Chains A and B, each alone.
Chain A
Amino acid sequence: QVQLQESGPGLVKPSETLSLTCAVSGGSVTRDGYYWTWIRQPPGRGLEWIGDISFSGRTNYNPSLKSRVTILVDTSKNQFSLKLNSVSAADTATYYCARDSTSSRGYYFDYWGQGALVTVSS
């Protein structure tokens, strides 16, 4: 059973960088056929895909955030990370990491972390 766990500061000041890590257990980030994804959800609102990364480091980003986002993978620690710079109050959200699986019928997010609430405030 794959498990994902987000960690990182719950409070970030405006204009600074949000940094989160997702530790993966019960499976390897190096296994082919999977991407590793970040998704966020502002309080009381819907879900927004931020981007994903393969074990080889290939990334895809949401164009709406691309200029501020970096996703990295650390295969030695079996984890991946998110950095979002120049944050504002609009970036306040619960951030989820998830596994992005692929099949002949498309991609889907089948395993999720519990989520990490990050508040942007001075």
Chain B
Amino acid sequence: DIQMTQSPSSLSASVGDRVTITCRASQTIISYLNWYQQKPGKAPRFLIYGASSVQSGVPSRFSGSGSGTDFTLTISNLQPEDFATYYCQQSYNAPFTFGQGTRLDIK
């Protein structure tokens, strides 16, 4: 199985800040990397596919980059509704695997 490792596991930030979350794959996954946002008690929300393509309806402050084994999710101008847990997920090989999550809290 491909292991996905996110860093940091948690971080605190303020409204208006710019934050970056990193996801590293245990082997190359080319650009088959997706990002999801999850709020407590809710299902994950799909944000980004193919490492950098933002899903329709997702605010433009969300962006993704990377290829091979190293990827990033950047959120610019943090809004109150962005405080949540974020997961990366690879779709290069089944079983599809997720990172352990990064919890983003209000400072």
Contact = CB atoms under 8 A, between A and B. Distances in A.
The answer to whether A and B come from one shared complex is yes
A111 B99 CA distance: 19
Q: Determine the main DSSP class of B at the interface with A.
A: loop
A96 interface: yes
A108 B91 contact: yes
Interface of A: 46-49, 60, 62-64, 96, 103-115
Contacts of A109: 34, 36, 44, 46, 89
B43 A48 contact: no
Given A105-B32, A112-B43, A113-B43, A49 B98 contact: yes
Contacts of A115: 43
Contacts of B51: 105
A19 B1 CA distance: 26
A45 to B, nearest CB: 8
Interface string B42-69: 1111100111010100000000000000
Contact of A108 (B49, B95, B97, B100): B49
B31 interface: yes
Interface in B12-52: 31-34, 36, 42-46, 49-51
Contacts of B53: 105
A105 B99 CA distance: 19
A90 to B, nearest CB: 17
B87 interface: yes
A49 B96 contact: yes
B92 interface: yes
